[in-house]
Amino acid sequence: MILLWLIAILFLGGALAWASEGLDARLPRVVALCSLLLSLGLVLWLWISGGAQVGTPGGTWWVLDSWAWIPRFGIALSVGIDGLGLLMLVLTVFLGLMALGAAWNEISQRTGFFYFNLLWTLAGVVGVFTALDLFLFFFFWEVMLIPMYLIIAIWGHENRAYAAMKFFLFTQVSGLLLLLAILCLAYFHFVQFGVFSFDYFALQNVVLEERFQMWVMLGFFIGFATKLPAFPLHSWLPDAHSQAPTAGSVLLAGVLLKTGAYGLIRFTVPLFPEASASFAPVAMSIAAIGILYCAKLAFAQNDIKRLIAYTSVSHMGFVLLGIYAWNLYGLQGAVMTMLAHGLSSAALFMLAGGLQHRLHTRDMDKMSGLWAQLPMLSAMALFFSVAAVGMPGLGNFIGEFLSLLGAFQASRSITAISALGLIFAAVYSLWVIQKVFHGPYKIPEGVGRSAIPEDLSTVELVCYALMALGLVWMGMYPQSFLALSGPGLEGLLQAVGAFSGELGPAAALGGAL
């Protein structure tokens, strides 16, 4: 019941926020804050109570609830989480609060509708992370898309219409493939068992012919890989990020991308084990290419938000790599990267948004030596860049290290190539620090000589401090998170079985072609 409450709070909070705008333009953000705090309370309660009281004893699932919805087609409102799902919920609600912090002073027009969209996006994401009925899952998949589209299209920057449309089309087309694949699966369930079903556990029993399995699996894979995004489906992301308002970027990078990775772990591989196993070399090659290609693209950008966007794609490559290594190290690495990248990229986008707010430009060529003027903001930027470089002691390192460690067991050559991404990450991250914060101080055009940009406000400082603490926690004692996601991942590994052992470079190359 508690999961439905969580979703309901966000939906209702959004509606209430919209309605409250009529009373006072500042009311919606307060409503949003209350509903997010309430959600955070629920999620933390779930974490602390450990699921022992609510979960199935001995199983890896903590909370499972199901109500019939459209019984004729075997569609039910069934939701549930395990440790992995819980971690994703914590990340979602926490970053929801951060996005709220980013929007707090930035959004001044049509506030009610903005917070409505913000909360509904979050509700959709929570639904995606909890749904165990594939029809319901797809419903939430669409729910999180449309409000996000509106956020970019209405509150975005100069080229927002193009970016929003691109985002919408990419997600919609890949979503269509996902829907087709889901329907196929339900149909084959009907063929084999005589009834329609969209239930996650029931669909795992469907046995597909090899050639069908590959095609249906590809539907799932493309649907999720677009969201992740994986090379070469990434090209919507830089536009969406650079045009979205800060809060939108925070949600996109921090949360929405993770739904793609979650979908791969939860659905794609467990539903299609054989097809996934033979597809793994391709997926890992895609990951390696994405890591290097997008790191190189990031280095070439002048627009600071575009740059961070490309780094996101590069880092998501490590997630993809870890998932398709399909062993405990790789999966834990993928999960830790999702969490840590959620915080670090959200913080970096907030910092970029903060710079744009102060300097009215995203062009790094117009910035220089800001450390002298904005020491706190610069120190924060340094911290989160260092986190993104994968400095041990911070969360991103744990994720990337485990991903690569797991991937090494599956393919040495692909891992060695992907590890070059560690060098590239240093190149582009330090380049940003140099361009923007070091060097002689230069007053950007468009900022009056008298108007010296102000350093961090209290709201900003609190947000950054919380995210920084989160990264330190993940880096110094990741056990809190690993222990939570471990049983669920082990369950998945047992159900699916390990992919075949070492893949030679020839096999990987052959697979890629």
Among 287, 297, 321, 367, binds other proteins (CB under 8 A): 297
Cα gap 419→291, rounded to integer Å: 9
Footprint (CB under 8 A) of other proteins, residues 441-500: 441, 476-479, 482-483, 486
Number of residues that bind other proteins (CB under 8 A): 57
Q: Which stretch in 5-13, 176-184, 261-269, 392-400 sits in contact with other proteins by CB under 8 A? A: 392-400
434 lines the binding site for other proteins (CB under 8 A): yes
Going residue by residue from 237 to 256, which x/- string records binding to other proteins, judged by CB under 8 A?
A: -x------------------
Cα torsion at 17, 467, 304, 312 (round to 10°)? Answer: -90
Counting Cα atoms < 13 Å in the Cβ hemisphere of 65 gives 11
Footprint (CB under 8 A) of other proteins, residues 313-342: 327-329, 332
SS3 506: helix
For other proteins, give the closer residue by CB, 9 or 508. Answer: 508
For residues 395 and 344, the answer to whether their CB atoms sit within 8 Å is: yes
Q: Helix H segments across 326-411?
A: 328-359, 370-373, 375-389, 395-410
For residues 384 and 132, the answer to whether their CB atoms sit within 8 Å is: no
For other proteins, give the closer residue by CB, 195 or 420. Answer: 420
Chain position carrying tokens 């050639």: 211
For other proteins, give the closer residue by CB, 30 or 376. Answer: 376
Candidates 351, 311, 347, 346; CA nearest to 436 is 351
For the CB of residue 233, give the shortest distance to other proteins in the complex, in Å.
Answer: 9
Cα gap 153→150, rounded to integer Å: 5
Cα gap 257→171, rounded to integer Å: 11
> Which residues are CB-contacts of 31 (< 8 A; sequence separation ≥ 6)?
13, 16, 17, 20, 115
For residues 341 and 312, the answer to whether their CB atoms sit within 8 Å is: yes
For other proteins, give the closer residue by CB, 16 or 404. Answer: 404
For other proteins, give the closer residue by CB, 197 or 301. Answer: 301
For the CB of residue 235, give the shortest distance to other proteins in the complex, in Å.
Answer: 4
For the CB of residue 404, give the shortest distance to other proteins in the complex, in Å.
Answer: 6
Chain position carrying tokens 């490309």: 310
Q: Residue type for 469, please?
A: L
Going residue by residue from 174 to 213, which x/- string records binding to other proteins, judged by CB under 8 A?
A: ----------------------------------------
SS3 503: coil
For other proteins, give the closer residue by CB, 64 or 382. Answer: 382
Among 402, 414, 463, 484, binds other proteins (CB under 8 A): 402
376 lines the binding site for other proteins (CB under 8 A): yes
437 lines the binding site for other proteins (CB under 8 A): yes
For other proteins, give the closer residue by CB, 39 or 429. Answer: 429
Residue 429 vs residues 3, 385, 403, 419, 463: alpha-carbon distances, Å: 39, 6, 21, 16, 21
287 lines the binding site for other proteins (CB under 8 A): no
For other proteins, give the closer residue by CB, 155 or 168. Answer: 168
Among 3, 9, 350, 398, binds other proteins (CB under 8 A): 398
Q: Which stretch in 2-10, 256-264, 269-277, 373-381 sits in contact with other proteins by CB under 8 A? A: 373-381
Chain position carrying tokens 């019939």: 68
Q: Helix H segments across 21-79?
A: 27-49
Find out whether the peptide bond into 232 is cis, omega within 30 degrees of 0. yes
For other proteins, give the closer residue by CB, 38 or 165. Answer: 165
Going residue by residue from 409 to 428, which x/- string records binding to other proteins, judged by CB under 8 A?
A: x--x--xx--xx-xx--xx-
Among 47, 69, 212, 299, binds other proteins (CB under 8 A): 299
Cα gap 265→263, rounded to integer Å: 5
Footprint (CB under 8 A) of other proteins, residues 209-238: 231-232, 234-235, 238
> Which residues are CB-contacts of 232 (< 8 A; sequence separation ≥ 6)?
none
Cα gap 174→177, rounded to integer Å: 5
For residues 355 and 436, the answer to whether their CB atoms sit within 8 Å is: yes
- Residues lying near other proteins in the complex (CB under 8 A): 166, 231-232, 234-235, 238, 296-297, 299-301, 327-329, 332, 369, 371-372, 375-376, 379, 386, 391-393, 397-398, 401-402, 404-405, 408-409, 412, 415-416, 419-420, 422-423, 426-427, 430-431, 434, 437-441, 476-479, 482-483, 486
